[in-house]
Structure 1
Amino acid sequence: MAHEGEDGRARCPRLLLGAILLLGALLRVLALGAESLWSDEGFTWWWAQQPLVELWGANGRLETNPPLYYTLQHLWLVFGDSETALRSLPALFGIATIPLAYAAGRVVGGRRAGLLAALLLATSAVHVYYSQEARAYTLLTAAATLAVLGFLRFLATNDPPPATGGRQGLAAYALGTTAALYAHNTALFLPLIANLAALLWWVARARRERRFLLAWLLANLGPFLLWLGWLPVVLTQAGGAPTIAWLQQPALPSAVREALRLYSFRYLAAPWLDLAAPVALLAGWGVLAAPPRRRPLALVLLAFVAGVPALTYLAGLLGRPLWVERTLLWPLPLGLALLATGLLAVRPRGLGLVLLALLAVIQAGNLRGLHALPQKPPMRALAADLARDWRAGDGLLLLPQGIQFSAAYYLRRHGRMLEAVGLGEDPERLAPSPLVLAHPLRPPVGLPVVHASLATLDERLQRWERVWLLARRRDRLDPDGRVMAKLARFGPVARVQHYPPYLELILIDRARGP
């Protein structure tokens, strides 16, 4: 009977984790293809179709993201290139991260903390959002979480020394780190923080045991050698890749607020945002609330949770702005593990239950906010309107040129091949970025988009009877109205159609006269 009771106690967490995993999977596949592909997803669709030698070759190095995700998406195209098919791969990575969040919570706070961490990630609206985006961010998150878990297992099996275990942990660390480095360049922060933490652990807790240090160095050797070929690309891009030149360094208060919003408040307005700091304090409390033997491991988790945004912000101060929400996403499961540990340790227990109920309301509100308004521009509807009203002699102008891939994706559904002239992020700039030159559209989905500046646009305009301007965030790219002033010389505005949140389709008709 005792064995039956033990089996029952062991089975219950597995059943709960299975239910949480099912809930997380449902949230990530719900309406997976409902919204249009936005510009970056359109580029994923186009770039993933290229031969693997192209993805890993010289042209691939012009892209600011490493080629691993595009390679996996290339293979995934066997399931088609619909919105649902393209997004199902990142959805799988997002689902796979849920049990990793459970493992992280269990390491620092036990099974209950693990289950709560998994539930928080499963119902995290921001993680659901990126799990439904055909980009590399959930791959990065899953790989980095696996690496940190492996690192924690290695530390746990070598505390106190001598080192007698942790080989599986080191293997997980090496695999996860390599995958993360080839998923996104900001994953460089992962081995930097891990090595600093390992050095401090070696000095303070491993008694400078040589076997500990040797095992750790060997675990880093594999990822380093495999990533060495990509290092020159990262160094070149660190000097200022043109495709990320739009990133701006925020003021410190804005940066702190944006980082905190990831953990519960992404889709909620005030006064909920005012609770972000107390929630962060609960995560810090999770370090102190962890059992004494697990507290050093909780400090290691905190090093990643706090270190990633700190290093990202520091990179901006040093001249390479990287601060954008998606570059801060990957420590989220680790932060939620600390938050779960802190919540379960709140005393009196009644207060803890109130906080859990409040957090449940916040999570539900975030999910509702995520689906209440469109999160991606409706290029599908815009392309349908453009194809319906297109006439012979019309011309298409893109602002910016990078919008071409999602436009081509949807126009092909209406039997049209994209043929357009594109303006860059800076409409005054003539030369397109090397990325645009290396990644041209090709038939049957489109022709290479001709790049122009405002100064060279007149010749193009004279060839058309009407010109359609397809603009994304025109308020940012043309704040002074230079583009519209140029088009006003061509003819009057015949139509302005808005496609929230930030697309516009404007028709200029020369035949109407001044």
Structure 2
Amino acid sequence: MTARSQTKTLIAGALLVAAIGAVLRLWHIASTPMWLDEAYSAYAAGKGFAFLWQVVPRYETHPPFYYSLLRLWTLAFGDGLVAERALGLAAGLATPFAIAWIAAAAGAWLDWDVPRRRALVFVAFALACLAIPLVEMAREVRPYPVMILVFALTTRALIAIARQREAGRPLAGPAFAVYLVGLESMLWLHNLGPLWAAALGLACLIAFQAHRASWTDWGWFVGGHAAVAILYLPALAMLIDQAPTWVRSTWLSFGAQGLADHLPVLYAVPGWQGLAAAVLLVLAIMILVRQARAQRLLTMLLILAILPTMLSILLSITIAPVFITRTLTPVAVPWLVLLAIGAAGQRGKAAWLGAGAALMLAANMLAVDVQMRGSPPIQNWYGALRWLQPRHRPDDLILAYPNEGALPLERALQDKALAWRVMPVPVAVPALDQGGWHPTGSRGVVSLPKARLEAIARSPRIAAPRRIWLLRLGNTTYDPGDMFLTALRRDRRMTARFVDGPIDIIALDRK
């Protein structure tokens, strides 16, 4: 194949996978309701900046930085369902290009010839377009798609730092500035930001090549990281304040089965097709262990791909469960670059092995993506409204216990232009200083004692309507023994019930 024909083939292939990736990210994006976590984001973004920076830190474990970004986004583009998802979608659509940029920089650093570099960029781009966690996170009104993009751009900056240090140039410059901004952003985007900072900092130390550093370079290195640490102190104070509540009453659990279920998805290798990824990883290692600069690249990518997950597992074992697949999705970025190196870097018969493994992996990811797009939403609030509409009357009252259940319900009501009365119990999020305990680790959501629930059930506002609806999310956690339901049934009888996953809605009519 001539160079011109190879270029045309790769461009055509890139356009095809880009279109497929865009379709997968857009599929049902306007018809899938927000689930609880997304509703939290939309709720916070609907408030003013004073609420975001003064109230959110009192109950939310995450820093308010992402909510502020979403607030600015909605002020510019509106607060409709598609508008709010568009921030993550924009980041998700940009991420494959950022990963291709990383692959291009890696190929140039390794002094590969032009055909291999082009193949590397194409494979990295194609895998990024189809990667299961990248497709899924691009659809969420959560910080994860932004984190993935920031992590990718920071990884690209690290390769630039490594190349300029190898060439004997000073550390100070645009690449180091981009790295520091990315490092600070990762710290402020999520409460597990220190895990990402640890991986990025260690990778930066390898790129820095301390043995070749001057005192001026050391000053920039230490001073830059010190500035990042100082700017992070307010978020660290929020994390320290919230951590005890999370540790005492987290809803998460951690075990070997969870790792077995989630790690393959996190690293884009579900099912038996993980063999293809293993082949690509072995091929990549065989390529990168041959020279010093390639060994540095291999070490940096492995640290970025594995260390955050290892630290998350360690924290889950020793302190409190924090391991959640979606919080670790940025590790897919360096991992996909490694797999692309394995696919494009070999010659001869091994090249056919790498191409076949990459094709097998891409086909499997596409099949899983399509299957997931056809699956029901995480929480089907639109389905709940369809069931409720013919049964709901204008004077009905919906009680949301715990109070956070009102967030996705009210969001779905807004999307469907329905003005129904909803009463969060005991009060709207955040239910600060309301007594009770916090079974999910959030001070904004409480489980109330029996006497308090009985008093609420007898209150005039709840006693007046002829029919009330009790919405429960996680009733075994927040209402063990059905205490609130029992209190409401003292003067009422159950007449209808809707259960779909965690959504439990009960109609209670006056006797």
Calculate the TM-score normalised by the size of structure 1.
Answer: 0.82
* Partner in structure 1 of residue 152 of structure 2: 145
Counterpart contact for 1:159–1:206, Cα < 8 Å: no
Q: Which residue is equivalent to 1:446?
A: none
Match of residue 354, structure 2, among 341, 352, 355: 352
Deviations, residues 285-344 of structure 1 (Å, cap 9, x unaligned): 423323633231121111111101001111122313211111111111111111121233
- Shift of residue 139, structure 1, vs aligned partner: 0.8
Matches for 1:317-356 after TM superposition, within 5 Å: 317-345=317-345, 347-356=349-358
Structure 2 gap segments, 5+ residues each: 108-116
**Residue aligning to 2:110:** none
Listed one character per residue, the Cα deviations across residues 89-130 of structure 1 (whole Å, up to 9, x for unaligned) are: 110011121111112233445442232122111112322221
Distance 1:247 1:228 in 2: 26
The number of residue pairs the alignment matches comes to 486
Contact 1:401/1:451 (<8 A) preserved: no
Q: Is the 8 A contact 2:171 2:208 kept in 1?
A: no
- Counterpart in 2 of 1:251? 255
Change (3 A) 1:37 1:59: closer
Once residues 14 and 275 of structure 1 are traced to their aligned partners in structure 2, the CA distance between those partners, rounded to angstroms, is: 27
Q: Which of 158, 165, 174 is 1:168 aligned to? A: 174
Query: For residues 205-354 of structure 1, what are the structure 2 equivalents within 5 Å?
Result: 206-207=211-212, 209-241=214-246, 245-248=250-253, 250-252=254-256, 254-265=258-269, 273-276=271-274, 279-280=277-278, 282-283=280-281, 285-290=283-288, 292=291, 293-345=293-345, 347-354=349-356
**In structure 1, C-alpha distance between the alignment counterparts of 2:173 and 2:13, rounded to whole Å:** 29
* Residue identity matched to 1:185: N
For residue 284 of structure 2, give the secondary structure of its aligned residue in structure 1: helix
Q: Deviations over 1:30-84 (max 9, x none)?
A: 3221111111222222211211232123544532222222112112223222211
Equivalent of 2:373 in 362, 371, 374: 371
For 1:7 and 1:352, the matched residues in 2 are separated by 23
- What do you get for the CA RMSD once the two structures are aligned? 3.6
Q: Does 1:188 align with 2:184?
A: no
Which shifted more, 191-200 or 471-480?
471-480
Cα deviation, residue 19, structure 1: 5.7
Question: Given that residues 276 and 358 in structure 2 are in contact (C-alpha distance below 8 angstroms), is that contact kept between their aligned partners in structure 1?
Answer: no
Kindly provide the amino acid, as one letter, of the partner of residue 337 in structure 1.
V
Query: Aligned partners of 1:82 and 1:244: how far apart in 2?
Result: 34
Letter aligned with residue 258 of structure 1 = H
Which amino acid in the other structure matches residue 406 of structure 2?
Answer: Q
Structure 1 gaps of 5+ residues are 266-271, 440-448
- Shifted more, 394-403 versus 39-48: the winner is 394-403
Distance 1:434 1:360 in 2: 41
Retained in 2: the 8 A contact 1:151–1:169? yes
CA deviations on 1:257-286 (whole Å, 9 max, x unpaired) are 412222335xxxxxx624436625633542
- Aligned to 2:457, which of 445, 454, 461? 461
TM-score, normalised by the number of residues in structure 2:
0.83
- 2:163 aligned to which of 145, 156, 161: 156
Which amino acid letter does the alignment assign opposite residue 236 of structure 1? Answer: D
Asked if residue 472 in structure 1 is aligned to residue 479 in structure 2, the reply is no
Q: Which residue of 2 aligns with 1:74?
A: 71
Q: Is the 8 A contact 2:171 2:217 kept in 1?
A: no
**Equivalence for 2:503:** 503
Does the 8 Å CA contact 1:139/1:180 hold for their aligned counterparts? no
* Structure 2 letter corresponding to 1:187: G
Measure the CA separation in 2 of the matches of 1:432 and 1:388: 36
Aligned to 1:442: none
- Distance (whole Å) between structure 2 residues aligned to residue 128 and residue 199 of structure 1: 31
Distance in 1 (alpha carbons) for counterparts of 2:172 and 2:6: 27
Please give the secondary structure, in 2, of the residue aligned with 1:74.
Answer: helix
1:132 to 125, 128, 139: 139
Residues 202 and 83 of structure 1, relative CA distance in 2, 3 Å threshold: closer
Q: Map of 1:440-451 to 2, 5 A cutoff?
A: none
Distance 2:396 2:457 in 1: 10
Structure 1 residues 363-389: Cα deviation after superposition (integer angstroms, max 9, x where no partner): 121111111211321212323543542
- Contact map agreement 1:24 1:98 (CA 8 A) in 2: no
Matched to 2:268, the amino acid is: S
- Residue 396 of structure 1 is matched in structure 2 by 398
User: Partner residue of 2:114?
Assistant: none
Amino acid at match of 2:451: A
Distance across 2 between alignment mates of 1:295 and 1:14: 30
Conserved 8 A contact 1:259-1:328: no
Secondary structure, aligned partner of 1:294? helix
CA shift digits 1:11-37 (9 cap, x unpaired): 986776566545433332332211111
Cα 1:261/1:52, change in 2 over 3 Å: same
Q: Shift of the alpha carbon at 1:163?
A: 3.1
Secondary structure of 2:198's match? helix
Give the drift of 1:396: 2.8
Taking the aligned partners of 2:364 and 2:301, their CA distance within structure 1 comes to: 24
